[in-house]
Amino acid sequence: MEPIVGAILETVGEHVDCHRNFQNDVNDLRKRVADLKRRRNDKVAELQILDHSEKQVKEEVRGWLEDARRVIEIEMPDIEEEVQNVSKLSWGSLGRSVRQKIQEVREIYDRGCFPEGLVIERPPPIGITLPTENMVGEVDVKEQIWGYLGENESVGIPEPTTENGCKIVITSRSRDVCRQLCHRIVKVQPLSDQESLNLFLEKVGQNIQNIPNLKETLRLIVKECAGLPLAIVVIAGSMKGVEDIREWRNALRELRKCVVGTAEGSRGDEIFNRLKFSYDRLPNSNIKNCFLYCSLYPEDWEISRATVIEDWICVGLIEELGSRQEMHDKGHTILNRLENNCLVEKGLGEGHVKMHDVLRDMALHIKSIGPNKFMVEASMLLKNIPTENVWTQDLEKVSLMRNDISYIPENMSPKCSMLSTLILENNKKLREIPECFFANMPLLKFLNLSETGIEVLPNSICNLEKLTALILHGCEHLECMPSLAKLKALKKLDLWRAGLLVVPEGIEMLANLQYLDLCCPHLKELPTRMISELSCLQYLCRYKLSTEETLRGEAATLKELENFEGGFSDLKDFNYFVSKSKHFLGGLNHYVLVVGGFEIPCFNHSRSFEHNYCFKRVILVKCKIRGEDDLVLPDDLQVLSVGDCNTVSDISTFMKNTTQLRSYYLEQCKGIECVVSSSSFTFMNNLEQLSLLELDSLQDLVKVEKTTASPALTISPSIFSNLKHLTVWCCSRIKKLFPCELLQSQGLQNLELIKVISCDMMEEIIGWEDEEEGNETVFTLPKLRRLHLESLPELKRIFPERGKMVCDSLNSIVVCDCLKVKRIPLCLVHNEQPIGHPALQEIKVYPEGWWESLEWDNPNAKNILLPLVIKTRPPGQLYPAENLNA
């Protein structure tokens, strides 16, 4: 009996305790859910910047994100509703549920650390033919390898078995590697004379064959390439556009000089000396040094064009010009020259380049034999900094970026009197640098400590009087700095997301400063008149401006300023700034003005030079906007982002003067029921990009009311006439994307991308109000390139049953988890004869059985499209990243 009584008393006691502490528990739950939301947003933002072409999100991460989403978006709103409606008498019973939810949220939050990363290497898809460039000279070798693969014998796998049937082919320039790992070795022979000539002509341009008397010289130049494909490509690139026979003959003499003496040398020398011919032909030492600088990045690294240009500016490889934009233009010109000469190549990412690993080795070889050497140990998994004896007097540049260096010995003081560049970027475990470390680096100009765990800078950094750039980007643990007053040569100071609490002393003394990023989340108000003292500033980033700073308007006094990014705590300060600064804003190449915060992932502000954009943008987060009188926008605004502004119900109320608006992002605005109504057609005329993200109340993209006077729907022909990209993500109530009349009015003729993801009630992409009336209609979207439909459980039709889609530019279709769709309405028949689609390159479908269940107007259509079908789940995006050039 006693245990039963005890259990009853314990339950009663718990009930009373839950009743008594109900409000505290609810507030605790709210705080924990807010923390979970921030952690989820951080992880989503981190996933955005990862390269999804070679990585895939871990299943445990996907599961965690789904658990977090369930709690934040589904369960917490239900609990909040119960809290609002529950009587005080029921606090005890609801309080138990709240405490259980607190424990669950705590567990989910703790699971979200992922110390080993969010992604894994993407396994190659099975049974898919990957697109590759045309290759030359490999036919015999390829057939030989295929022969080995067809036999029952590991081709290179240790302890091979007949049962496993697995084989692997390894390619390497090292015979020793092949000997150690492979059972059989196939040597890839140099290209034949004809293959070499064909490849050379492909890269240099067939038109050179029209140059009189060139044939023999051309043959001899190709012969000097020794059948080495990379040498042929690079040398051909260096001769592109040359039409003077005398220059060709001179090139032949120079090339022969390069290869003299390599016949008995190593294979590496044989390649390097031929490649060096293209390097030697660069017009001046500055461009050569720009090429050599690219070798400081890790092997096979995707190098941001804008970032490397910024570095070139900082180290003096691009001379001072009239403006920073002119210097970036010069940098892009140099990169284009290197690209045209095949010394760098386009990267996979937009606005990126990369170096072929052999060309990078050549660059490092060049610097190893000259008087001013490089030490490059980038991305080599170093745990310790190289020992002091390898820091020699003749070092010019040192790159130790992207390692695991955590400690620098306290007495280490490298004697590097010629060192000008030191890059320790992305050594996240590095917490401090000893006082004596910089003591013997008197010529150091460029110091990059970004994304390190640095907590304090040594005072000796103040003695680096030649320093022109100090990069502390993302140093979140750095809370204070020594005085910078003595760094008179400093031109760039990047403190983005540093943990600073106060502005470093002496910044106002840096008269030559051109680039200042003070976007530090915890930074207090700036000293009075500090900004106005920096008269050379070209780039300024400051979050958040106080009321006093706004009233002073110091930024507007900077005559050289080209790029400005500023944040405001509330609309009052923002409106005052815009109304008083329209002339100032109009004179800038680029600005980003933010009101509110950065809790929403896609609103993480993008840097103008990092991404090579020059646009004018306003970001509004958590603002109370009810009408056009509540908001003052710049006249030349190009990009508008609105997030978590729940008082906004009609976006047209403050859009009357935004005639230059090109891109519009709407996110988490619960009051938005439609994007465009009949009264707001005109402001959409120039819009090129529209992204609608997590709009819970959105029901219509375009809403036009029928009236007695006009029972038919009438839509302005100009609406969306310039729209190129449309993204709709997690809008749970919208059922139809476009009314059919919008296509009939030629309103979408420039549309290139339609992406609709995770819209639970979406039934039609193009819908017809009166489905049963009229004859079959053909819809034309002449510029549509990509159609991406994913996780749309209620989607029944892409187009009306009696409609067909003609889009001759379409090259990619993705349909994933849209099981109710029964037809893909492509026009594949002409005059009763089946034809292929002119541009279509791929159709990604999932699951596989869905494709088999599709219905076709013509029985041959399925067979026509089958070679293009890839039956696999696309990597997708957990969150739609912004890309103004996508």
pLDDT one-digit tens code per residue, 143-172: 666 666 666 666 555 555 666 666 677 777
Q: Say how far apart CA 782 and CA 774 lie, in whole Å.
A: 23
How many helices (H) and strands (E) the chain has is answered by 23, 33
> How many C-beta neighbours within 10 Å does residue 519 have?
22
Distances (CA, A) of 520 to 477, 533, 545, 623: 11, 20, 11, 22
Is the model more confident about 818 or about 12?
A: 818
Residue 246 has pLDDT above 50, yes or no: yes
What's the number of CA atoms in the CB half-sphere (13 Å) around residue 377? 18
Residues 858 and 833: beta-carbon distance below 8 Å? no
CA-nearest of 676, 686, 772 to 715 is 676
Residues 269 and 260: beta-carbon distance below 8 Å? no
pLDDT on residue 498: 94
Q: Tell me 71's DSSP state.
A: I
What's the number of CA atoms in the CB half-sphere (13 Å) around residue 771? 7
Residue 832 has pLDDT above 90, yes or no: no
Pairing of strands 446-448, 764-767: unpaired
Which part of the chain has CATH 3.80.10.10?
370-522
Q: What is the pTM of this model?
A: 0.72
Give the H/E segment covering residue 328.
helix 324-340
> How many C-beta neighbours within 10 Å does residue 692 have?
25
Residue 232 has pLDDT above 60, yes or no: yes
> Average pLDDT over the chain, rounded to whole?
82
Phi first, then psi: give them for residue 640, nearest 5 degrees.
-125, 130
The partner residues of 867 in beta bridges, in order of sequence, read: none
The encoded tokens of residue 651 equal 């976006």
Residue 314 has pLDDT above 80, yes or no: yes
Residues 542 and 526: beta-carbon distance below 8 Å? yes
Classified as helix, coil or strand, 169 is coil
CATH of 370-522, one of 3.30.565.10, 1.10.1040.10, 3.30.70.260, 3.80.10.10: 3.80.10.10
Classified as helix, coil or strand, 701 is strand
Residue 607 has pLDDT above 50, yes or no: no
Question: What's the angle, vertex CA 596, arms to CA 626 and CA 450, rounded to 5?
Answer: 155
74-77, long-range: CB < 8 A, 24+ apart: 75/101, 76/29, 76/33
Residue 679 has pLDDT above 60, yes or no: no
pLDDT one-digit tens code per residue, 850-869: 888 888 877 777 887 888 88
pLDDT on residue 824: 80
pLDDT on residue 264: 45
Distance between start and end Cα atoms, the chain: 73
pLDDT on residue 85: 74
> How many C-beta neighbours within 10 Å does residue 303 have?
22
CA-nearest of 708, 646, 709, 656 to 679 is 656
Q: Say how far apart CA 845 and CA 874 lie, in whole Å.
A: 8
pLDDT on residue 9: 44
Write down the H helix ranges in 294-323. Answer: 305-315
Classified as helix, coil or strand, 767 is strand
Residue 13 has pLDDT above 70, yes or no: no
Residue 878 has pLDDT above 50, yes or no: no
| Residue 165 amino acid letter | G
The encoded tokens of residue 450 equal 């970004």
Q: Tell me 555's DSSP state.
A: G
Q: Is 69 exposed, middle or buried (0-12, 13-18, 19+ CB in 10 A)?
A: middle
Phi first, then psi: give them for residue 94, nearest 5 degrees.
-70, -35
pLDDT on residue 614: 67
Question: Any residues with CB less than 8 A from the CB of 530 and at least 6 apart, and which?
Answer: 503, 507, 508, 554
pLDDT on residue 714: 58
Pairing of strands 639-643, 616-621: parallel
Residue 496 has pLDDT above 70, yes or no: yes
Q: Say how far apart CA 354 and CA 300 lie, in whole Å.
A: 6
Classified as helix, coil or strand, 737 is strand
Residue 536 has pLDDT above 90, yes or no: yes
Phi first, then psi: give them for residue 764, nearest 5 degrees.
-140, 140
pLDDT on residue 545: 75
Is the model more confident about 653 or about 192?
A: 192
pLDDT on residue 228: 84
Share of the chain above pLDDT 70, in %: 79
Residues 392 and 416: beta-carbon distance below 8 Å? yes
Residues 323 and 376: beta-carbon distance below 8 Å? no
Residue 295 has pLDDT above 90, yes or no: yes
Residue 472 has pLDDT above 80, yes or no: yes
The encoded tokens of residue 884 equal 């103004």
pLDDT on residue 263: 46
The encoded tokens of residue 200 equal 């050379």
Phi first, then psi: give them for residue 493, nearest 5 degrees.
-130, 110
pLDDT on residue 603: 46
3-state secondary structure 471-513: ECCCCCCCCECCCCCCCCCCCEEECCCCCCCCCCCCHHHCCCC
Length of the chain: 886
What average pLDDT does this structure show over 479-492? 95
Give the H/E segment covering residue 864.
helix 861-865
Q: Say how far apart CA 546 and CA 565 lie, in whole Å.
A: 14
Residue 209 has pLDDT above 90, yes or no: no
CA-nearest of 637, 640, 629 to 667 is 640
What's the number of CA atoms in the CB half-sphere (13 Å) around residue 293? 29
Lowest mean per-residue pLDDT among 136-145, 404-413, 679-688: 136-145
pLDDT one-digit tens code per residue, 379-389: 999 999 999 99
CA-nearest of 533, 532, 531, 537 to 562 is 537
Lowest mean per-residue pLDDT among 351-355, 699-703, 859-863: 859-863
pLDDT on residue 800: 73
pLDDT on residue 145: 66
DSSP letters for 45-57: HHHHHS-TTTEEE
Residue 600 has pLDDT above 50, yes or no: no
Q: Say how far apart CA 31 and CA 24 lie, in whole Å.
A: 11
pLDDT on residue 159: 59
Share of the chain above pLDDT 90, in %: 34
Q: Say how far apart CA 262 and CA 272 lie, in whole Å.
A: 10
Q: Say how far apart CA 251 and CA 567 lie, in whole Å.
A: 56
Question: What's the angle, vertex CA 257, arms to CA 256 and CA 261, rounded to 5?
Answer: 95
Is the model more confident about 826 or about 78?
A: 78
pLDDT on residue 449: 98
Lowest mean per-residue pLDDT among 63-67, 348-352, 681-685, 820-824: 681-685
Q: Say how far apart CA 573 and CA 52 lie, in whole Å.
A: 40
What average pLDDT does this structure show over 564-568? 88
Distances (CA, A) of 562 to 513, 517, 522: 14, 14, 26
Classified as helix, coil or strand, 617 is strand
The CA R_g of the chain, rounded to the nearest whole Å, is 32
Residues 666 and 675: beta-carbon distance below 8 Å? yes
Q: Can you list the positions of beta strands (E) in 302-372?
A: 303-304, 345-346, 352-354
